[in-house]
Amino acid sequence: MTTLDLFADLDQGDLAEKAESLRRDLERYSYAYYVLDNPIVPDSEYDRLFAELKDLETQHPELVTPSSPTQRVGGAPLPQFGKVRHKLPMLSLMNGFSAPEIQAFDRRVATELGVDEIEYDVELKFDGLAVNLRYENGELVGAATRGDGSIGEDITANVRTIGAIPLRLASQNPPRVLEVRGEVLMFKQDFLDLNDRQREKGLKEFANPRNAAAGSLRQLDPMVTASRRLRFFAYGIGEADGAPVHETQSQLLDWFITLGVPVCSNRSAVKGFKGLMAFYDDILSRRDTLSYEIDGVVYKVNRFDQQQQLGFVSHAPRFALAHKFPAQEMLTEVLAIDVQVGRTGAITPVARLKPVFVGGVTVTNATLHNEDEIRRKDIRIGDTVIVRRAADVIPEVVCSVLEKRPIDATVFVMPTACPVCGSPIVRPEDEAVARCSGGWINCPAQKKRGLELFASRKAMNIEGLGEQLIDQLVDKAVIKDAADLFTLDVPTVAALDRMAEKSAANLVAECQKAKATTLARFLYALGIRHVGETTARTLADHFGSLKALIEASEEQLLQVEDIGETVATSIKAFFADEHCLALVNRLVANGVHWPENETEAKVRVLSGKRFVLTGTLPTMTREEASNIILSHGGKVSGSVSKKTDYVLAGTEAGSKLEKAQTLGITILNEAEFLAMVKTKQPTESENNY
């Protein structure tokens, strides 16, 4: 079934909710992966959801938001490290998973370049941490993580401890500036040795070499990094001043070797689709014998002039593709099927599996989505099942192995009462998802998940208020709802497990700081069903005040752009609920505030104007510029058309600029754009809303 088929039966409200759900999951997974170095899903699950969101947004461009994972690269830096703005963005790669996709990529590249056959530089896709090394006059002066692609973390002190990275380039006449980009990783044997030492010391073991490398590289104490054996392979170049001009990627990597910079020997130059697949098949056959973990191979058009001609999309080069390895499957046993309760009361069955190592990750749980899915696949407790870790659904219970089914295999029965609060579980006739009817007032599980959303970065942005702390606050009856967060005191918080006076004081300070917010953030934080970030912003811009929104009729809500009957009904139901309205009033009474009506003045500046962004802007990211446009009533589109009013263009602008010029659309540079909106460069809080 195609993605189009999956979305065909969804109305606009359901589509918006689906897109918002995907964005929330991807943001959470990206934060855990890039910022915390503690992935909570395999890479392939992220790839699947990313592809699903991208397909959905392609089919419905009105659902695209500036903060969507499809519009950016990665996560934000930790506050413990200094921030480094990359001179040139560190982009991610588009992915391919099958031979037809690779053939389509090769055909597109050849067609756009107008040649019969393309030469590619083919390399490995390492499973480590991307870094940028900055050399000035041959000396290593800085190192930074990729971060969000525009801003990374300063890890210079730690990188200097890595023996594989030269502190000085092996050249008598080095470039004035040279940025080398590559991957820091840990070899398999070094990883095993590290875990042996961790085990001997009674310390936590690392899950895989990637986690070990990332965790080692981002230690606050460089001595810890120095005690662990990290490696480095270069694969690209950033800013360069005084470097020799190379015609191909292969020549660049050869030059790196002469400078003493490590480059992986498993690379080659090949021609056409057949050459790509031959390299892929060879590496796949040797994957388990390599000294390090990889999760695919990378294809790059070899000639730099052709790369420049092909250009970029918003988050990735059009001249390169990562070819991910196929699914890896193993057999294991279903020990039990439990249910989890989500923020909106959704009851999700989860298979508890006998631990199985699949594709570098130990899998113990796998979602079964809903009761219908369990019936369709006929998954029973006690079954031997195929578990797949792949790009499509990971970890996924593919099916039961019927010939291995024991006589006492038990059919799963959906409980009739919530396992957390005991409220009845109900399933509307038009939904596949069953829900706890207790609501957040009666169900601690819903309350906890709602508080997680409330405190999240895109909502109230209460740093340090994570899942474990929320569990304690609710379980110990320290708070009964979100409003109580703003009355917390240091002694109360310090009395909780694993909390000290300093960390308690930090949390209380974060809660107080969060009181000053925006109406859009506040509405999103409330967790109104079907109201995601974009809808919350639209409502805030349209009504200008909370009072006006609460008093709006359903007919008035339907007059708001992109608000359908499902969303309008949900909003009215939320504010009609006495408990929800009481929570809103208590939040305001406890000091949560925002500049009401401010949006009305902003809307007049760019109201109804449609912008397209292209290229690299001098002082801000495209996400920052997009947020300025949206906050002043404008719209941001991913493609140029006759409906486009302005194109905001930076350096290295590509085909979008050319099309805009052909259509006679007004082109703006950054200075002209800022003069139009008469605003300063946005602060961090302005960027988010």
Residues serving a catalytic function are: 125
Question: Directed axis angle between helix 670-677 and helix 598-606, to 10°?
Answer: 130
Residue by residue, DSSP assigns 418-444 as -TTT-PBEE--TT-S-EEETTHHHH-H
Q: How many Cβ atoms from other residues are within 10 Å of residue 687's Cβ?
A: 19
Residue by residue, DSSP assigns 85-110 as E-SS------EE-SHHHHHHHHHHHH
Strands 177-185 and 129-136: antiparallel
| CB of 137 closer than 8 Å to CB of 131 | no
Task: Kindly tell me the sign of the dihedral angle through the C-alpha atoms of 112, 113, 115, 121.
Answer: negative
Distance CA 449, CA 54 (A): 26
Which token pair is 366? 């796998």
Q: Between the CA of residue 487 and those of 354, 375, 581, what are the distances in Å?
A: 44, 47, 19
| CB of 366 closer than 8 Å to CB of 550 | no
Residue 51 φ/ψ, nearest 5 degrees: -65, -40
Distance CA 321, CA 93 (A): 6
Which residues, other chains included, contact 1 with Cβ-Cβ below 8 Å and sequence gap of 6+? Answer: none
Which residues, other chains included, contact 210 with Cβ-Cβ below 8 Å and sequence gap of 6+? Answer: 127, 128, 129, 185, 186, 293
What DSSP element (H or E) covers 624?
A: helix 622-631
Give the CB-side neighbour count of residue 302, counting CA atoms within 13 A: 19
Look at residue 325 and give its three-state secondary structure. coil
| CB of 588 closer than 8 Å to CB of 545 | no
Q: 303 forms bridges with which residues in the sheet?
A: 248
